[in-house]
Amino acid sequence: MAVFRAPQNPILTAGDIRPSRPDFEVIGVFNAAVARHGDEVILLLRVAERPAERRKEAVLCPMYDLDSKKIIIRPFARNDPQNDFSDPRLILRPGETYLTSISHLRLARSLDGIRFAVADAPAIQATTEYETFGVEDPRITSIDGTHYIAYVGVSPIGVTTCLASTRDFTSFERHGVIFHPDNKDVAIFPAAINGRYYALHRPHSSLFQRNDVWLAESPDLLCWGNHRHLVGTRDGLWDETRIGAGAAPVRIDEGWLEVYHGADRLHRYCLGALLLDGKRPWQVLARSERPLFEPQADYECAGFFGNVVFSCGLLLEDQTLRLYYGAADTSICYAEISLADVQKNLGL
């Protein structure tokens, strides 16, 4: 695949982001939603933070406190045998899970799509009981001038997908939980089809250990039903262990094009494509046998969680996919793939 990576990559790193509090440090910026808004490219960044203070005797976990309405810091003693620190992203205790960082969503604006001005303060941050461990991985779908933001709310009661909307990227309205636990990787189609809205989503079945992509439909973008299993993981291929939708699907001549992520047994995350029927999006017309895009650059292979390219947003402009993607759960990068190359990858 002929992938053009921006020579400026990574285009945004933790150092470019002002912490939301003086006692916090930004440890990563990745998995951004993208929208075209007038002359500008808007990114809604996932910014991960943790307390800047280091303590020998404890790991400090940030979490939103519903009573005081602010993020509090809870220490977990390193010498407590009930605390399992083996995954740097989590602290596991018997029957309890905590995150070592908390994410919020931050706006960034650009005229050239490469150099972004990042807002000083969060646009959407932990506020509800579904978000006490943070908000993550947004996707923007623009319909009739309203930008709908599907984002992940994480809390001890589960991993949900919530909806917010904005017309101006200045004020945001929350619409509650649209997909119950555990569900993430929700990508809403940018147009109704025969009067119904559609979304890709990724429920998790623990009994059957499945992480597949499903399709749901809705009359109003708020309530979702007629859930249909769309595509599963594929043994022996690049997407053998888990998959999930990336950006909102884009319409091309042949149908709906979805760029999705898949991981293999070694937790290597690549991007591939799905082509869905234009009028019957539950029909899969084509799927990447080989990745469209895989981690190769240094900044994709090394980082907080290496060997990861993961996209929550792209623009289809001038017959080119302008892809914003998280690299190694650490930074944001930009790449271009021609639509012709995507079509070739799909065997069209």
Contact footprint for its own copies (CB under 8 A): 95-97, 129-130, 155-160, 175-183, 201, 203-210, 212, 214, 216-220, 222-229, 232
Encoded tokens for 160: 């949900």
Distance CA 150, CA 159 (A): 13
Name residue, tokens 């250990």.
209
Measured between its terminal Cα atoms, the distance across the chain in Å is: 15
Minimum CB separation of residue 341 from its own copies in Å reads 32
Minimum CB separation of residue 265 from its own copies in Å reads 11
C-beta pairs of 157-161 under 8 Å, 24+ apart in sequence: 157/129, 157/130, 157/181, 158/130, 158/182, 159/183, 159/184, 159/204, 160/130, 161/186, 161/201
In terms of CB distance, is 7 or 95 closer to its own copies? Answer: 95
Minimum CB separation of residue 197 from its own copies in Å reads 10
Dihedral of CA 160/165/166/167: which sign? positive
In terms of CB distance, is 106 or 184 closer to its own copies? Answer: 184
- Strand-pair category, 210-211 with 102-110: unpaired
Minimum CB separation of residue 260 from its own copies in Å reads 17
Minimum CB separation of residue 235 from its own copies in Å reads 9
In terms of CB distance, is 75 or 219 closer to its own copies? Answer: 219
Distance CA 166, CA 46 (A): 17
In terms of CB distance, is 207 or 266 closer to its own copies? Answer: 207
In terms of CB distance, is 70 or 89 closer to its own copies? Answer: 89
> Is residue 275 helix, strand or coil?
strand
In terms of CB distance, is 176 or 347 closer to its own copies? Answer: 176
Minimum CB separation of residue 14 from its own copies in Å reads 25
Distance CA 275, CA 153 (A): 28
> Is residue 326 helix, strand or coil?
strand
Distance CA 303, CA 312 (A): 19
Minimum CB separation of residue 319 from its own copies in Å reads 35
Distance CA 158, CA 14 (A): 27
Q: What residues form DSSP beta bridges with 257? A: 250, 275
In terms of CB distance, is 155 or 345 closer to its own copies? Answer: 155
